[in-house]
Amino acid sequence: MRGEAIASTEWLAARIGDPEVKVVDTRFIVAVDDEGRFIEVPGKDPFLEAHIPGAVFLDLDDLRDPVAPAHLVGADVFDELMSARGIGNDNEIVVYDTEGGVWSARLWWALRLNGHERVRILDGGFTSWTLEGRPVESGDRVVAPSRFESVLTEGLKVEIADVIGAAEDRAAVVVDALSEPFHAGRIRLYPSLPAGHIPGAINMPAPDNLDPRTHRLLGVAALRERWDPVVEKAERIVTYCGGGMYGAFDLFVLHLLGYDAALYDGSWEEWAATDDLPIATDPPGLPDERLPTPTRTQGS
């Protein structure tokens, strides 16, 4: 595997306090109420209660372009976000969340898109860290600003026109990283948008790459058994989800396994809102008006 993209808890524990290693907590919590509706829970408060020593917090909503929320902020804003957290171009960066990386992969991908290759996702995230009894600290941290300058990397991001082409290309594979009920169209992800998936997309839910207890990645053999039959013959691979997070995690797993893929940043938030684009459900023709309408402000 491309092991440079992942950090074990042992690897990080040995580098706590190293000024060259920057740790970013991107926990993003989505709860489900008794009626099955999604409720976004701010991640900053749990971060203040306990986090990996030396970590700084980044709200993933800050990565959303305020003009086009389905997309990543521009390079100038991204540079400001990183610089304000003491992150420079020479730093090794470790990102984590409380769900094994399905959220922090968004920042991992954004850093690589903006030219920063030295970034790792913490295997098992905060869950494994605490299960192992490793040290935590509370409160916020004031850091000295640094200087981060982006250089765009080609090939990691595609736009809606590229996805339309990929969906019609038999040599391409489009991967939907959302959970199966959303992919099938039985549950509406956004109250104002139709349910379903991009026609031809293969459903590979991001959390299924993880051990449900430790949140560590499955073993290499299990990941290959899951992914190789789907993508090994593909000439190009595109991942997506609701708002570019789960899709980034599937892309991360593909990267580990040696596959190159691109993220459709706009994801379902853009596709379903665009007139005249086809939408598929399982089974075909599932009546959208009968679907539950969960309440949330951010797609996975």
| Residue 300 falls inside a structural domain | no
3-class DSSP assignment, residue 238: strand
Structure confidence by residue, pLDDT tens digits, 139-166: 998 899 999 999 999 999 999 999 999 9
pLDDT greater at residue 282 or residue 300? 282
Determine the average pLDDT of the residues in 254-280.
96
**Domain count within the chain:** 2
Which CATH number is 22's domain given?
3.40.250.10
| Residue 298 falls inside a structural domain | no
List phi, psi (to 5°) of 236: -155, 150
Task: Look at residues 94, 115, 131 and tell me which one is the last residue of a structural domain.
Answer: 131
How confident is the model at residue 190, as a pLDDT?
86
Residues 83 and 203 in one domain: no
Residues 281 and 163 in one domain: yes
| Residue 176 falls inside a structural domain | yes
Determine the average pLDDT of the residues in 286-290.
54
Residue 101, domain extent? 3-131
Task: Look at residues 97, 131, 165 and tell me which one is the last residue of a structural domain.
Answer: 131
Residues 125 and 188 in one domain: no
Residues 126 and 49 in one domain: yes
| Residue 142 falls inside a structural domain | no
Determine the average pLDDT of the residues in 198-217.
97
Residues 8 and 127 in one domain: yes
Pairwise CA distance, residues 15 & 264, whole Å? 34
Residues 41 and 112 in one domain: yes
Pairwise CA distance, residues 288 & 164, whole Å? 22
| Residue 297 falls inside a structural domain | no
Residues 120 and 15 in one domain: yes
| Residue 141 falls inside a structural domain | no
| Residue 101 falls inside a structural domain | yes
Share of the chain above pLDDT 70, in %: 92
